Structure 1
């Protein structure tokens, strides 16, 4: 299993198993509903505030797993563990949001050269 950053995918490990996550348009629509916002701009503003609750992380990671095709409920995500604890979950959320909204970089899958 290999994530393709150009498609907005990332890889993350939960309970010692690798997973691909992707915030597809459907996953972003799911998050708009979950967070009670009207559009992608409002969703980006909410995430850009830099404050993240554990419940927020569960929703974002769950949507990312489902966006990549996994059959994972938010309850499944809440029960998952990481070797680096809560800070690791926050890092996964940050990486996933950066991949979806165009921030960050990835040396394994760099963007194509501009011409």
Structure 2
């Protein structure tokens, strides 16, 4: 899905509240209908304060584990749980569940950004 600014998300939401159809919004903003429905549900639940401008969010291991366990143990839907926790998309939670199951029921903490170059290999490249 294409990234929207916070202002574009507010504008989209307000157009929907004014009666624009999901199809119209999908064409106007070049987004999938599912993404628009998710955004509207997210704002309905949490208000405009949940919106951020383009920056990735970092979620604690505790939040990840709570969300994953709701899906696996309490059999809640991924969409419902993602909305409850204010996740920017269902995809994040889907990935957390998959990683949790593949890693022996452990939450996976990934390092963000590019890996640092090793000093030794950088020195070799200079000389």
**TM-score, normalised relative to structure 1:** 0.26
Give the greater-gyration-radius structure (CA): 2
Higher relative contact order (CA 8 A, sep 6+): 1
**TM-score, normalised relative to structure 2:** 0.24
More strand by share: 1
